[in-house]
Chains A and B, each alone.
Chain A
Amino acid sequence: MIVEHILQGFMYPFLFLSMYFQLLLLTSFFENKKKIKDEEGREVSIFPSVTVAVPCWNEEKTLGSTLDSLLALDYPKDKLKIYVVDNNSSDRTYAIGEVYAYNNPGIVEVYRESKQGKHNAVNLALSLTRTDLFGCLDADSFVMPQTLKTIVSYFDADEKVMAVTPCLHIRNPRTFVQRMQAVEYLMGVFLRKAFGELDAIQVTPGPFSIFRREVFEKIGKYRKAHNTEDFEITLRMHKAQLKIVNSHKALVYTIGPATGRGFVYQRLRWARGFLENALDYKDLFFKKKYGNFGMFTLPMAFMFVFYGLYASVFAVYTLSSNLFDIAKRWLTVGIHPHIPTFDLFYFNTTVMSFIVMVMLTMLVLVFYIGNQLSDDKQDFYRNFPMFFFLYPLFIPIFLGRAVFDTFTKRKNNWVLQDTKSLSTT
């Protein structure tokens, strides 16, 4: 009982901050709703030259489809370069790249980078090109024909824009874990847009974030950065006060981990990378010159790792203590199922239940906006139960381990389990 009260007491500051954070994102979104709508119909007047690097490590199964999607882009072909960079694959990845290079001369080129690591592969492509824009597309991700043109329209409209992030979705979610991620990514559609409106985008994701070339001239190339080079380069951009925006109509599809194990390893890498990089860039925290990112969203995101862990421990504790009570009753008097009677008296009317109800309503609003913003209407209602019931079970596992590993400086042996990270180690 006392433990429960203490745990509950600490939940209130968390709920307050979470609600504050959600409200800030929602108000900034609604404040800019018209501007966001106006972004949608913009035409491109000048087509800048673009290089897309495709770093790969044993991607023979998906590389062909990734390249097909790039070649189908509605973009002048004389302005487009696709560099396939094979990072020591032991399968047919390089051979597939060669076939595409042969069939698409002047557009697709294939290279080998012997130094292991995604950052090395992307940096090789960077050193080989002089195009106006540069981006990369993981070999398990796919673009839609209009994606690049939509992204370019942001560079065209504002010369201060230095990077544009896309609208990410999970490709063909089949398993429970992928369906859960499909809903999570839908939430990400709103979050990326709202963060963009606050000039506080948290990460320029590996799949098809596009940068002006001068970004790399100003702040340098990619770094290993605790296996999360995309987060580190975002921090560096914020430090250099370079503007990043989000294009909510630039659809990119990525293959999410199909199993719980794969999902945990991926998130473990992301969470650990976030913590390590945030600590490396702690000088950004609470500095007014870094705007909303430094003053609010980065410190909040850092704090939420710990509070998220705490909240999930609280949820697991509450759930298990309820289950324990039921088990105790069963063991004492046996199982005697009842038809539950409806009585308003027994409704939960605690402050926390009201707050949680308001926050769940706001969460529904976030999903609704995410769904409205994106052109891809996902099978939300079928997938939502997977997100609602499965996702909270994963959080304590990867956050707990990431926090533990970060502060005990443990070596990332688990990183070898995350197939995506194999190309980044």
Chain B
Amino acid sequence: MFDSKKYIFTLILTVAIFATAFFTSTFLSNKRVESVKSIQDNIAIDILSSETQFSLLGEVPCSNVSDSILSPQLSEIGDKLSKTETDRGATDADVIYLKKYYSLLQIKDYILSKKLVEKCGSTKKQVFIIYFYSNKGDCTDCEKEGFVLTRLKEMYPDLRVYSFDYNLPLSAIDSMKTIYRVKSSLPALVIEDKTYTGFKSLEDLDRLLPRSIKVQTTVNKVKAASTTSAQ
């Protein structure tokens, strides 16, 4: 016997489960955006604090400048932003807002770090890589370049990598593109103020990095090992 009531009841139940899944997913996704926003706000405060500390540098010797002047959370937030972008899509308004915010924070961090190097170059040596990518499907090597840079960061934890979406409509990014003469040929990398286009392998980048970062990494490793053995 065909009992239409049973079918309607089941339909209501199915719709209810789908609606619950939809609302839960939306709620958690919004929470995720809020969490990224909140971390970014913290980074903004960190940077502001660093800038303030930096303006005081004139009165303080370089040896007194804290090692944590640069925000350590910046690379972590990059990964979280990338996950949010995968889930919500590159065209999502929240994602675009977060990416713009993140890009600005990176630029501020970069300027601050450069100033620090200029001021205390001998004691606070930093190496930067600026990376321009596109995820519009027009850069086949960008994904691979991303893998290379992630690995490079693992090899040299003191290396600071700043990633920018070439297509993000943000005047500050446009200025960076102009300064470093980055055209649409991607991926593009700026190492020690020199611009390179096209895919660069791990070996290529390793060769391009200054010796100082390698020495610093080795010294840090030795220090860490001796601390561990002393304990």
Cα A334 to Cα B80 with chains together (Å): 24
A174 at the interface (CB under 8 A from B): no
Partner of A27, one of B10, B143, B151: B10
A45 at the interface (CB under 8 A from B): no
Asked if A346 and B147 make an inter-chain contact with CB atoms under 8 angstroms apart, the answer reads no
Shortest Cβ distance from B28 into A: residue:
A349
A336 at the interface (CB under 8 A from B): yes
Q: Indicate whether A28 sits within 8 Å of B11 (C-beta atoms), given known contacts A329-B147, A350-B87.
A: no
Q: What count of chain B residues pass the 8 Å CB interface test?
A: 34
Asked if A355 and B21 make an inter-chain contact with CB atoms under 8 angstroms apart, the answer reads yes
Within 8 A of A (CB), among B65-83: 80, 83
Shortest Cβ distance from B135 into A: residue:
A1
Contact bitstring B1-33, A, C-beta under 8 A = 1, else 0:
111001101110110011011101100110010
Give the interface SS of chain B, mostly helix, strand, loop or mixed: helix
Cα A349 to Cα B80 with chains together (Å): 14
Cα A20 to Cα B18 with chains together (Å): 10
Contacts of A414 in B (CB 8 A): none
Q: Report the minimum CB–CB distance from A56 to chain B (whole Å).
A: 39
Within 8 A of B (CB), among A275-294: 288, 291-292
Q: Report the minimum CB–CB distance from A322 to chain B (whole Å).
A: 12
Asked if B17 and A19 make an inter-chain contact with CB atoms under 8 angstroms apart, the answer reads yes
Q: Report the minimum CB–CB distance from B205 to chain A (whole Å).
A: 11
Contacts of B17 in A (CB 8 A): 19, 355, 358
Within 8 A of B (CB), among A83-129: none
Cα A349 to Cα B151 with chains together (Å): 28
Q: Report the minimum CB–CB distance from A352 to chain B (whole Å).
A: 8
Partner of B18, one of A16, A24, A27: A16
Asked if B25 and A349 make an inter-chain contact with CB atoms under 8 angstroms apart, the answer reads yes
Q: Report the minimum CB–CB distance from B138 to chain A (whole Å).
A: 12
A354 at the interface (CB under 8 A from B): yes
Cα A328 to Cα B142 with chains together (Å): 12
Contact bitstring A346-366, B, C-beta under 8 A = 1, else 0:
100111011100100000000
Q: Report the minimum CB–CB distance from A291 to chain B (whole Å).
A: 5
Contacts of A31 in B (CB 8 A): 6
Asked if A199 and B1 make an inter-chain contact with CB atoms under 8 angstroms apart, the answer reads yes
B213 at the interface (CB under 8 A from A): no
Shortest Cβ distance from A346 into B: residue:
B83
Partner of B29, one of A23, A334, A349: A349
B154 at the interface (CB under 8 A from A): yes
Contacts of B21 in A (CB 8 A): 351, 354-355, 358
Q: Indicate whether A292 sits within 8 Å of B147 (C-beta atoms), given known contacts A24-B7, A351-B22.
A: no
A296 at the interface (CB under 8 A from B): yes
B124 at the interface (CB under 8 A from A): no
Contacts of B83 in A (CB 8 A): 345-346
Shortest Cβ distance from A2 into B: residue:
B137
Contact bitstring B90-124, A, C-beta under 8 A = 1, else 0:
00000000000000000000000000000000000
Asked if A332 and B13 make an inter-chain contact with CB atoms under 8 angstroms apart, the answer reads no
B144 at the interface (CB under 8 A from A): yes
Partner of A16, one of B14, B24, B32: B14
Asked if A354 and B14 make an inter-chain contact with CB atoms under 8 angstroms apart, the answer reads no
B185 at the interface (CB under 8 A from A): no
A6 at the interface (CB under 8 A from B): no
Cα A353 to Cα B25 with chains together (Å): 9
Contacts of A336 in B (CB 8 A): 151, 154
Q: Report the minimum CB–CB distance from B29 to chain A (whole Å).
A: 6
A7 at the interface (CB under 8 A from B): no
Contacts of A355 in B (CB 8 A): 17-18, 21
Contacts of A19 in B (CB 8 A): 14, 17-18
Q: Indicate whether A333 sits within 8 Å of B137 (C-beta atoms), given known contacts A24-B7, A349-B25.
A: no
Cα A295 to Cα B6 with chains together (Å): 13
Partner of B2, one of A23, A291, A351, A354: A291
Cα A106 to Cα B126 with chains together (Å): 98
Which chain B residues have a beta carbon within 8 Å of chain A's beta carbons? 1-3, 6-7, 9-11, 13-14, 17-18, 20-22, 24-25, 28-29, 32, 35, 80, 83, 87, 137, 143-144, 147-148, 150-151, 154, 201-202
A to B CB contacts below 8 Å, 19 in the list = A16-B14, A19-B14, A24-B10, A27-B10, A199-B1, A288-B2, A292-B1, A292-B3, A332-B144, A333-B147, A333-B148, A336-B154, A345-B32, A345-B80, A349-B24, A349-B28, A349-B87, A350-B25, A351-B21
Which chain A residues have a beta carbon within 8 Å of chain B's beta carbons? 1, 16, 19-20, 23-24, 27-28, 31, 199, 288, 291-292, 295-296, 328-329, 332-334, 336, 345-346, 349-351, 353-355, 358
Given contacts A329-B147, A358-B21, 14 further A-B contacts (CB under 8 A): A16-B18, A20-B11, A23-B10, A27-B10, A27-B13, A292-B1, A292-B2, A333-B147, A345-B83, A349-B24, A349-B87, A350-B25, A354-B21, A358-B17
**Ranked 4 nearest A-B pairs via Cβ:** A354-B21, A333-B151, A349-B28, A20-B14
